[in-house]
Structure 1
């Protein structure tokens, strides 16, 4: 069953392309992100490859979008890379991305360097997967709630910083929090104190 006609899909992408100058005002990475969306749509046969030729060369944001899109579509093994774009940034597979997030949080637990943690998260190029970072940070804070309350607060402050700066938007933030809440029954099977720990963390969170 066809939900959205192909011409309407193309029209939607065309509107985004025409709006790139406004989009970069709120999201400087808009050309890169939109280029990835379009490239994935082309690889999935949602859009025709000719869509790249419809991107104007001016002004600068359009030029950046056009260059990035053409680069992704023409690169050697470009299709394979684009097919992995939603779950594995920086060439990582799903489980590797989760492990990379775990490592950066462990490093933060030792260094308490929020800037470095933010840089490492950005370097993964998975803003659509930031809910996993939220989930892992909350779980780590829960584990630290009794033995290391200072670490618990540091992790909550880290999430609050990302939320206030907009680096982690409301969607991934809410999804990460909900994922933990939905898993509490299972968590309690291995850790009877999980629900109490979760309550304690939620009481001190400063996530708005």
Structure 2
């Protein structure tokens, strides 16, 4: 049976047969040499106590040292690798390890990941804290060199810069235009309070009046009401006087766009004096000092209007008239009838359309349709039917009268035809003819034409009925 020599015996035999220097065998011999030591008793980087020591024992120590080096490479930067004698290896550039350094290290110690800090990082020194964490109010340190006692009593407020001329026009013009739609002076006052008008207070009445000159009578009435309310809340009487002074100076330019500007400005002045937002001596202060003919015409107009109402102590409510749906229904009906009568005389549908728009009552156009059809039923001859039919077709095509208002006007005539027939015996036949013509012209649809009521026909029955008349409703 062949005996297999042990590894230790083979190593010993090889070393005896091939003697080499210690510097060639071991990597760290030069670094680990101590004073008084030689390379004769060093094998694989481990010191042996005597030459008679077992090579197997030195091999085990070398293996343990390699394991220690492998573990220390994971903690590189946290301390030096130690030798068997617990001495630090000389020449290492790694800072010495300490328990505190390992405690503050936020890198993963499991050997996984990319070596980045742990997620979260809350409740550690030098971090923002975990998401959602609320911090208490920090107490002011009086000993802080940056502490300023004056900052403790500071009151911070939002500063709104005063408006310039361009910014004033861009901001206030939409406010006034929207006011012409809703008519709420309180909303305008709140919006103006939020702005820092500065020296532009007197520009507000001038801007409102300039826009009203190009508008309708109802918008001028709203402007007068706005000035009266703002004078007590946002503007002063001096602001209103300054604004009218600028208007009188700007009349030569305003006349180019609005030829009747002098008379209108004079009416605004008279209304302002009547509303007591302008002093009664304002007109007198201009006597003998006016060179512009337009300004003189405006002041004369205001003086005449005030003389007409002198001593009454009341506002000139009828100066601009009551616009839109604020007027009484009876007055609106009178104006509609007057408009139709003027149209029958002139036959101009364009002028009738303009007058109907000036009434500013789009919700009341069904009354216009009703009165026009009744006028046809009460008329004699075919001319009125044709001219009214032409007007309704024109207004329908121009969308001045909507389909809904047109339908409501015809339906009202259908409901009242029985009463109209008492005064106009031929009302049913004329209505049928007018409805058929309206359908042919495209004014009404088929359903509205079929809904037209028919007159009951009278016929005699048998002699046994005693000559009584019976009504047959078709």
TM over 0.5: yes
Aligned partners of 1:104 and 1:117 also within 8 Å = yes
In the alignment, which residue of structure 1 is the partner of 2:182? 38
In the alignment, which residue of structure 1 is the partner of 2:422? 189
In the alignment, which residue of structure 1 is the partner of 2:336? 101
* TM-score where L is the length of structure 2: 0.29
Q: Does 1:86 align with 2:325?
A: yes
- The count of corresponding residues between Structure 1 and Structure 2 is 156
Instruction: Give runs of aligned pairs for residues 158-173 of structure 1, distance below 5 A.
Output: 158-173=391-406
Q: Does 1:198 align with 2:431?
A: yes
Task: State how far apart, in whole Å, the 2-side matches of 1:136 and 1:203 are.
Answer: 18
- Offset at residue 94 of structure 1 (A): 2.2
Task: State how far apart, in whole Å, the 1-side matches of 2:323 and 2:343 are.
Answer: 28
Distance 1:127 1:148, change over 3 A: same
Task: State how far apart, in whole Å, the 2-side matches of 1:114 and 1:181 are.
Answer: 25
* TM-score where L is the length of structure 1: 0.60
**Residue 412 (structure 2) aligned to one of 168, 179, 190:** 179
Q: Does 1:140 align with 2:284?
A: no
Task: State how far apart, in whole Å, the 1-side matches of 2:332 and 2:416 are.
Answer: 21
Task: State how far apart, in whole Å, the 2-side matches of 1:185 and 1:87 are.
Answer: 32
Task: State how far apart, in whole Å, the 2-side matches of 1:192 and 1:87 are.
Answer: 37
Task: State how far apart, in whole Å, the 1-side matches of 2:436 and 2:326 are.
Answer: 32
Deviations 1:126-181 (A, max 9, x none): 2221111111111112223xx32122111011011101111111122111111111
Task: State how far apart, in whole Å, the 2-side matches of 1:197 and 1:114 are.
Answer: 23
Please list every run of at least 4 consecutive aligned residues from structure 1 whose deviation after the TM superposition is greater than 4 angstroms. Answer: 34-37, 51-55, 67-70, 72-77
Instruction: Give runs of aligned pairs for residues 9-158 of structure 1, distance below 5 A.
Output: 35=179, 38-39=182-183, 42=184, 49-50=186-187, 53=190, 71=223, 73-75=226-228, 85-88=324-327, 93-144=328-379, 147-158=380-391
- Could you tell me which runs of 5 or more consecutive residues in structure 1 were left unpaired when the two chains were aligned: 1-30, 44-48, 56-62
Task: State how far apart, in whole Å, the 1-side matches of 2:401 and 2:189 are.
Answer: 30
Aligned partners of 2:395 and 2:401 also within 8 Å = yes
Distance 1:50 1:110, change over 3 A: closer
- Offset at residue 122 of structure 1 (A): 1.6
- Offset at residue 191 of structure 1 (A): 2.0
Aligned partners of 1:135 and 1:180 also within 8 Å = yes
Q: Kindly name which structure, 1 or 2, has the bigger radius of gyration based on alpha carbons.
A: 2
Q: Which has the higher contact order (CA 8 A, sep 6+)?
A: 1
The answer to which structure has the higher helix fraction is: 1
Deviations 1:26-51 (A, max 9, x none): xxxxx97x746622xx59xxxxx337
Distance 1:54 1:122, change over 3 A: same
Distance 1:101 1:204, change over 3 A: same
Instruction: Please tell me the root mean square deviation across aligned C-alpha atoms, in Å.
Output: 3.5
Aligned partners of 2:325 and 2:360 also within 8 Å = no
Task: State how far apart, in whole Å, the 2-side matches of 1:84 and 1:143 are.
Answer: 30
Task: State how far apart, in whole Å, the 1-side matches of 2:422 and 2:381 are.
Answer: 22
